[in-house]
């Protein structure tokens, strides 16, 4: 070929390939969370009804993932093909990658996914969906042009624990919504669903040995509608409407399996020895006085705690035995937060028990009780997680700490060699207001706008490496005192959980709020197709009064947390 011919071919190539490529570079699909790297080409690949799926035997589960993630909207069959032939979607085993990492290559000939484990293959498919039109998130077949731009993506997550918590104790949420909640976690490459199943206001999981827990404990006669911040008793109204519900063991099994198919681990929380009023309502002998109490109808911390007796411990070990049979999670959460010590201080039995066990004070009693649970879970091959109050009176040896009263306690636990999940109120409490409360539905208080969630760093670089290594990750909290419906949960969760997903998946140096804001509208089109009632972003500035309230809240909770230990 002559030099002139080469020049002509080069020019033609540039026009055909590079020009669309630069167009694409200006307007790439909105990947969220951001992958480690994405290099777009200029071509495209079109999914058709003929697209087959090849999977290396070690990634066979990825075929099911294709059915879950690509079949509903396209209506295509995606038949399995036995030979590794080009075209369609191919899952290739690549032992060099972390379990949740992947390489995704789209060429005009098809889609190639390299992973060392089904989780990585699954996340590659989640990314592939973001390369398709947003209609791919529809739950029934739609006519659309299922075209994918050519690209090479390398990716792996920053943190191992990428979670969302959901409190179903304050308000019960139906099974269908729990499934959707899990879908949304998986869509955002989150892998942990912390299911807060027991509370003062409701016990939500069937325990076959103790049927009263749900027969009595899952139901309350009415619910306080006023704000807990309102100290004037007469303004604390009640709705007069019974509320309740629980999950049968069959439903729990089904949800755990549903989550596992989406690479989400369900971590159950059974609150102990506080936040247990519903259990005491069901079995009064669990309480310090033995008196019958109601399932709590107000928000705030109950003064009723569990009686520190051998019988109570046996009861909770039996509960945990059923829980462990339902949840394969390595981690089991035993709560441990906001334990009122007043009843123990006033109870001759509790005082006698403390003397017997040579415990100096009520904090030491709490610590001793938590240690019993830690030992029990450890003996059963599980790991105990608890809110950071489990550090009061001494942290038990195998505990993982969920740091909610700021990050300091978590860092102290990490320094002492414990694993830590960051869940600080200021960055991860999605029950806080998203804008001025004059324009928002009632929330618990405080203020956590989207940009602040995005600015969160669970493991800042200035920490010593040994401490950072102990920080497993972080999670967002959804306490549902003021969220009565799934729609309201979605309003509080999204898009803040999408921002948190990027915090947890993407490298810290890649994060950039302006870029996130640019990508967000396209991402919200996806959530539209999935039918998510997210809060439209923006309009989140506080007026003077709300700002003042926020400062007061921050100062008051800061002082309160400091005073507690």
Q: Which residues bind ligand ACM (CB under 6 A)?
A: 337-338, 387, 404
What the block records as the tokens of 45 is 């690949």
3-state secondary structure 16-44: HHHHHHHHHHHCCCCCCCCCCEEEEEEEE
Shortest gap between Cβ of 428 and ligand ACM (angstroms)? 10
Cβ atoms 106, 125 nearer than 8 A: no
Shortest gap between Cβ of 165 and ligand ACM (angstroms)? 9
- Residue closer to ligand ACM by CB (options 337, 457) is 337
Shortest gap between Cβ of 61 and ligand ACM (angstroms)? 35
- Residue closer to ligand ACM by CB (options 367, 475) is 475
- Residue closer to ligand ACM by CB (options 105, 196) is 196
Shortest gap between Cβ of 340 and ligand ACM (angstroms)? 12
- Which residue, among 497, 512, 464, 501, has the nearest Cα to 159 in the 3D structure? 501
Half-sphere exposure at residue 381, Cβ-oriented, CA atoms within 13 angstroms: 5
Shortest gap between Cβ of 26 and ligand ACM (angstroms)? 44
Taking the C-alpha atoms of residue 189 and residue 208, their distance in angstroms, rounded to an integer, is 34
- Residue closer to ligand ACM by CB (options 66, 471) is 471
- Residue closer to ligand ACM by CB (options 210, 299) is 299
- Residue closer to ligand ACM by CB (options 131, 478) is 478
Shortest gap between Cβ of 387 and ligand ACM (angstroms)? 4
Cβ atoms 404, 423 nearer than 8 A: yes
- Residue closer to ligand ACM by CB (options 163, 537) is 163
Read off the DSSP letter of residue 58: G
Shortest gap between Cβ of 269 and ligand ACM (angstroms)? 10
Number of H helices, E strands in the chain: 21, 20
Shortest gap between Cβ of 338 and ligand ACM (angstroms)? 5
- Residue closer to ligand ACM by CB (options 74, 475) is 475
Cβ atoms 114, 134 nearer than 8 A: no
Shortest gap between Cβ of 408 and ligand ACM (angstroms)? 15
Shortest gap between Cβ of 70 and ligand ACM (angstroms)? 38
- According to DSSP, the β-strands at 219-220 and 243-244 are antiparallel
- Residue closer to ligand ACM by CB (options 271, 419) is 271
| List of residues 6+ apart from 188 with CB closer than 8 A | 32, 33, 497, 498, 501
Half-sphere exposure at residue 161, Cβ-oriented, CA atoms within 13 angstroms: 27
What the block records as the tokens of 35 is 């992958």
The label of the residue with tokens 């999981």 reads: 205
DSSP assignment of 356-393 equals HTT--SHHHHHHHHHHHHHHHHHHTT-EEEEEGGGGTT
Shortest gap between Cβ of 404 and ligand ACM (angstroms)? 5
Residue 287: CB atoms within 10 Å: 22
- Residue closer to ligand ACM by CB (options 214, 302) is 302
Taking the C-alpha atoms of residue 548 and residue 287, their distance in angstroms, rounded to an integer, is 40
The label of the residue with tokens 């020895």 reads: 273
φ and ψ at residue 363, rounded to 5 degrees: -65, -40
- Residue closer to ligand ACM by CB (options 387, 454) is 387
Taking the C-alpha atoms of residue 421 and residue 490, their distance in angstroms, rounded to an integer, is 23
Cβ atoms 499, 454 nearer than 8 A: yes
Beta bridge partners of 39: 152
Beta bridge partners of 476: 164
Instruction: Tell me which residue has its CB nearest to ligand ACM.
Output: 337
- Residue closer to ligand ACM by CB (options 254, 338) is 338
Shortest gap between Cβ of 337 and ligand ACM (angstroms)? 4
SS3 state of residue 308: coil
Structure-derived torsion over alpha carbons of residues 525, 531, 535, 538, reported in degrees to the nearest 10: 10
């Amino acid at each position: 070929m002559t030099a002139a011919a080469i020049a002509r071919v080069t020019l033609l190539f540039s026009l055909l390939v590079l020009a669309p490529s630069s167009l694409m570079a200006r307007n790439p699909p909105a990947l969220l969370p951001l992958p480690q790297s994405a290099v777009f080409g200029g071509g495209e690949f079109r999914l058709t009804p003929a697209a087959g799926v090849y999977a290396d035997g070690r990634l066979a589960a990825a075929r099911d993932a294709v059915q879950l993630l690509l079949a509903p909207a396209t209506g295509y069959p995606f038949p399995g093909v036995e030979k590794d032939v080009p075209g369609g979607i191919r899952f290739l085993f690549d032992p060099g990658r972390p379990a949740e990492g992947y390489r995704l290559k789209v060429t005009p000939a098809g889609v190639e996914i390299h992973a060392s484990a089904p989780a990585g293959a699954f996340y590659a498919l989640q990314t592939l969906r973001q390369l398709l039109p947003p209609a791919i998130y529809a739950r029934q077949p739609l006519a659309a042009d299922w075209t994918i731009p050519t690209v090479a993506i390398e990716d792996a997550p920053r943190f191992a624990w990428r979670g969302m918590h959901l409190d179903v104790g304050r308000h019960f949420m139906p099974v269908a919504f729990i499934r959707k909640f899990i879908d949304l976690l998986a869509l955002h490459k989150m892998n942990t669903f912390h299911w807060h199943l027991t509370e003062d206001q409701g016990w939500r999981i069937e325990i076959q040995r103790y049927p009263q827990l749900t027969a009595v404990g899952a139901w309350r006669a009415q619910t306080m509608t006023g704000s807990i911040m309102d100290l004037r008793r007469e303004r604390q109204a009640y709705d007069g409407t019974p509320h309740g519900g629980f999950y049968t063991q069959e439903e729990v099994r089904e949800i755990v399996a549903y989550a596992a198919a989406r690479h989400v681990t369900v971590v159950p929380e059974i609150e102990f020895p506080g936040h247990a009023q519903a259990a005491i309502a069901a079995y009064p002998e669990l309480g310090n006085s033995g008196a019958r109490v109601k399932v709590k109808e107000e928000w705030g911390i109950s003064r009723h705690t569990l009686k520190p007796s051998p019988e109570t411990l046996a009861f909770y070990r039996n509960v945990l035995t059923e829980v462990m049979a339902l949840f394969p999670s390595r981690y089991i959460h035993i709560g441990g937060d906001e334990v009122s010590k007043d009843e123990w201080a006033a109870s001759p039995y509790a005082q006698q028990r403390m003397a017997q066990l040579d415990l100096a004070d009520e904090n030491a009693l709490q610590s001793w009780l938590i240690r019993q649970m830690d030992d029990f879970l450890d003996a059963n091959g599980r790991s105990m997680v608890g809110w950071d109050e489990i550090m009061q009176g001494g942290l038990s040896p195998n505990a993982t700490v969920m740091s909610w009263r700021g990050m300091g306690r978590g860092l102290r636990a990490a320094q002492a060699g414990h694993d830590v999940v960051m869940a600080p109120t200021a960055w991860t409490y999605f029950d806080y207001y998203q804008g001025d409360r004059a324009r928002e539905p009632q929330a618990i208080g405080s203020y956590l706008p989207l940009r602040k969630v995005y600015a969160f760093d669970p493991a800042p670089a200035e920490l010593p490496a040994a401490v950072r290594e102990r920080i497993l990750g972080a999670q967002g909290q959804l306490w549902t005192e003021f969220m009565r419906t799934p729609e309201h949960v979605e309003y509080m969760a999204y898009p803040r959980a999408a921002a948190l997903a990027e915090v947890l998946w993407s490298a810290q140096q890649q994060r950039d709020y302006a870029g996130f804001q640019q990508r967000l509208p396209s991402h919200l089109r996806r959530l539209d197709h999935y039918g998510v009632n997210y809060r439209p972003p923006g309009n989140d500035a506080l007026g003077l009064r709300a700002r003042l309230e926020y400062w007061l809240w921050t100062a008051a909770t800061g002082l309160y947390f400091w005073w507690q230990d």
